[in-house]
Amino acid sequence: AQIDYIILNHNEPDHSGALARLVDLCPKAQVVASQAGSIYLKNITNRSDLKVTVVKDGEKLDLGGKTLTFLSAPFLHWPDSIFTWLEEDKILFSCDFLGAHYCEPYVLDTRVNHPEAYEAAFLGYYEAIFGPFKPYVLKGLEKIQDLDLEFVCPSHGPVLTRDCRIPYVKEMYAKWSQPVKNETPLIPIFYVTAYGNTGLVAEAIAKGIRSVLPQAQVETYDVIHHDFAKLQGLLAASDAFAVGSPTLNRDALPPIWDLLTHIDAVNCQKKPVLAFGSYGWSGEAVPYLVDRLGKLKMKVFGEGYKVCFVPSQKDLAEAEELGAQFARSL
């Protein structure tokens, strides 16, 4: 086939999966990618004979009457991402940026027949893919603010047009990416409890936090009684949090591990967190939680706190004091 260039805006397999086959069909084609994108092309295609051209931010490629300008867009949403601007036709190929996991029979946003479904997909896509990279979203919007956009062609979802959704999607991305600061400290306490003992410790810790920070939003949440989407939102918005589990079969209980998989590991680094729990025979849950939270680069308070079987009044007083100490450390 007579193809001279293959523009690779992004290395993710849903973008690069056909690359090896394309190169077989177009052996003279140059693969164009960012420096970061060029690093793993041999691993992605399992071939060492690729002809790769690395482009820098702002670099142009003259195709003969059509000019491509490459714009660096790191962490939107991979380190290698770039946008490609087709100047003469006023088309931005935005990679995943401004897209949605949504498809209808027609290509343009002006032909969408189910706007409510599209809107839900648009928001869900932003939250799942770009939510962890909000500062980079704002930089990406700044990068394209002076472009005279007639069309935006994201890799997923309808093509966006000047007279329909381009202004709106840019506005929504800017709105959703603004830093949010709680008016009062938000310190949720998440736990799961088998016989109520870890729950008693959770309430004692909450009492201790409130004694130091009476204005703080401090609530306890037995995770099996709450929607995980709500808990995930609390995790993301919190200024600090505590997490607790009893030990069962030498481990923390599955609902707590499930909760920890919802932590935004990009933006929650250095967030203060306290681990606690109860145990009967071995007591591994709390140290395992401490270890996991530490590996997520969070600011773990001490070595955690655990009580044996039913917490005594002395245990609860210690838990309350621990909550107070945690609050003072914030």
Number of C-beta neighbours around residue 205 at 10 A: 29
Question: Residue type at 259?
Answer: L
Please report the pLDDT score of residue 219 as a whole number.
98
Helix (H, G, I), strand (E, B) or coil at 179: coil
Mind listing the pLDDT tens digit of every residue in the chain (330 residues)? 589 999 999 999 999 999 999 999 999 999 999 999 999 998 999 988 899 999 999 999 999 999 999 999 999 999 999 999 999 999 999 999 999 999 999 999 999 999 999 999 999 999 889 998 999 999 999 999 999 999 999 999 999 999 999 999 999 999 999 988 899 999 999 999 999 999 999 999 999 999 999 999 999 999 999 988 889 889 989 999 999 999 999 999 999 999 999 898 888 899 999 999 999 999 999 999 999 999 999 999 999 999 999 999 999 999 999 999 999 999
Return the CATH class of domain 189-325.
alpha beta
What phi, psi does 71 have (nearest 5°)? -115, 120
Question: Residue type at 291?
Answer: D
Question: Residue type at 23?
Answer: V
DSSP 8-state class, residue 188 = -
Please report the pLDDT score of residue 1 as a whole number.
56
- Element housing 241 (H / E): strand 241-244
Please report the pLDDT score of residue 244 as a whole number.
99
CATH topology of domain 5-176: Metallo-beta-lactamase; Chain A (3.60.15)
Domain boundaries, the chain: 5-176, 189-325
DSSP per-residue codes, 269-280: TT-EEEEEEEES
